[in-house]
A = this chain, B = another copy of it.
Amino acid sequence: MNIRPLQDRIIVKRIEAEEKTASGIIIPDTAKEKPMEGNVMAVGPGKALDNGNTIVPTVKAGDKVLFSKYAGTEVKIDGQEYIIMREDDILGVIEG
């Protein structure tokens, strides 16, 4: 992907909720609520502070993250949907 996020912005590709059902049952759209998982595609250099420093992001490209449903702005790049959000919108990193 050829987008360079600014400041503390992070580009995330959402993992579709369907992939998460253990069995083969399809969840209807209205049931797919609340936080979501995604893969971090790109990370900005961090938030520039008034004192001249930068807060380096604690997530990196490749991380699998949890974020709240209304975080960020959806973007369509080359036919793919991404979400550009601030690092602060990321709730946690899914490990292992």
Closest to A35 in B: B75
Binary flags per residue of A12-28, CB closer than 8 Å to B gives 1, else 0: 00000000001000000
Task: Determine if B73 and A5 form an interchain contact, defined as CB atoms under 8 angstroms apart.
Answer: no
Specify which chain B residues have a CB less than 8 angstroms from the CB of A50 in the assembled complex. 49-51, 53, 55
Number of copies: 7
Q: Tell me the A1-57 residues at the B interface (CB within 8 Å).
A: 2-7, 9, 11, 22, 34-35, 42, 44-45, 48-53, 55
The total of chain A residues at the interface (CB under 8 A) is: 41
Closest 8 CB pairs of A and B: A3-B92, A5-B92, A84-B91, A4-B93, A2-B96, A2-B95, A35-B75, A49-B50
Q: Chain A interface (Cβ within 8 Å of chain B)? A: 2-7, 9, 11, 22, 34-35, 42, 44-45, 48-53, 55, 58-59, 66, 68, 73-77, 79, 84, 87-88, 90-96
